[in-house]
Amino acid sequence: MIGSPVIKRILLINPPYPFEEHPSPPFGLMSLAAFLVEKGYEVRIEDYIIEQCSIERYKFIINEFKPDVIGATAVSMTVKKSLSIIKEYKMIAPGIMTVMGGAHVTFDASSILNSGGVDFIVRGEGEITFTELLKTISEGKSIADVNGISYIDRGIVHHTQDRELIEDINILPYPAGNLVALSKYKAMDLPINMITSRGCPHSCIFCLGRKMVGKRLRYYDTKRVVDEFETLSRLGFSQINISDDLFTSNKKRCIAICDGIISRGINQAWSAFARVDTISQDLLSKLKEAGCVTLCFGIESGNQEILNMVKKKTTLEKCRTAADLCTKAGITPLASYILGLPGETEETVMNTLRFARDINMEFGMHILAPFPGTEVREKSEEYGINILTDDWDLYDANRSVCSTNGISPDRIDRIVNGFYESLENYMDEIVLKKNRGKPISEKDESMLKKLELYKFNMELIENKIIENFPVAGCTNHEDLIKSFSSYLQRKTGRDSGFITKEISRLMEKGCLKIIQKNSSPAIGWV
Ligand code: B12
Ligand code: SF4
440 found inside a domain: no
Q: What is the pLDDT, as a whole number, of residue 474?
A: 78
Distance from the alpha carbon of residue 275 to the mean position of ligand 2, in angstroms: 8
pLDDT of residue 519: 83
CATH number, domain of 377, equals: 3.20.20.70
Extended beta strands in 312-396, E state: 332-339, 362-367, 385-387
Structural domain count of the chain: 3
Residue 10 CB less than 6 A away from ligand 1: no
pTM over 0.85: yes
Contact indicator for 275, 251 with CB cutoff of 8 Å: no
Is residue 399, in this structure, part of any structural domain at all? yes
Q: 431 lies in a domain? A: no
Beta strands 332-339 and 292-300 are: parallel
Position 62 in a domain: yes
Q: Which residues of the chain have pLDDT under 70?
A: 1-3, 472
- Closest approach atom of ligand 2 to CA 312: 4
Packing angle, helices 127-138 and 27-38, rounded to 10: 40
Do 155 and 200 share a domain, yes or no?
no
CATH number of 135's domain: 3.40.50.2300
Model confidence pLDDT, tens digit, residues 305-327: 999 999 999 999 999 999 999 99
**Is there a single domain that holds both residue 145 and residue 195?**
no
- Ramachandran category for residue 303: left, alpha or beta (phi over 0 → left; psi -120 to 50 → alpha): beta
**Residue 1, pLDDT score:** 46
pLDDT in tens, 102-142: 999 999 999 999 999 999 999 999 999 999 999 999 999 99
Specify whether the CB–CB gap between 412 and 94 falls below 8 A. no
Same-domain pairing of 146 and 242: no
Q: Tell me if 68 CB under 6 Å of ligand 2.
A: no
CA distances 207 to 372, 375, 396, Å, are: 10, 8, 14
54 and 98 share one domain: yes
Instruction: Note whether residue 327 is domain-resident.
Output: yes
CA angle 465, 471, 475 (to 5 degrees): 130
For 488, the domain range is 463-525
CA triple 470-474-478, angle to 5 deg: 110
Considering the domain architecture, whether residues 217 and 316 belong to the same structural domain is answered as yes
Specify the residue with its C-alpha closest to ligand 2, atom 4: 204
Closest Cα to atom 34, ligand 1: which residue? 28
199 & 153 share domain: no
Residue 223 lies in a domain: yes
Determine, yes or no, domain membership for 183: no
Q: How far apart are CA 304 and CA 317, in angstroms?
A: 10
Cβ count near 354 (within 10 Å): 11
Question: Do 214 and 349 fall into the same domain?
Answer: yes
CA 246, distance to chain mean position in Å, is: 15
**What residue owns the CA closest to ligand 1's atom 59?**
209
Q: Is residue 86 in a domain?
A: yes
Residue 204 CA to its chain's centroid (Å): 20
Domain boundary among 407, 429, 452: 407
CATH number at residue 467: 1.10.10
pLDDT (0 to 100) of residue 77: 97
Q: Are residues 120 and 237 both part of a single domain?
A: no
Tens digit of each residue's pLDDT (9 = 90 or more) over 206-230: 999 889 999 999 999 999 999 999 9
- The reply to whether 264 and 387 lie within a common domain is yes
Residue nearest to atom 75 of ligand 1 (CA): 23
How many whole angstroms from 363 Cα to the centroid of ligand 2? 17
135 and 244 share one domain = no
Which pLDDT tens digit goes with each residue over 242-269? 999 999 999 999 999 999 999 999 999 9
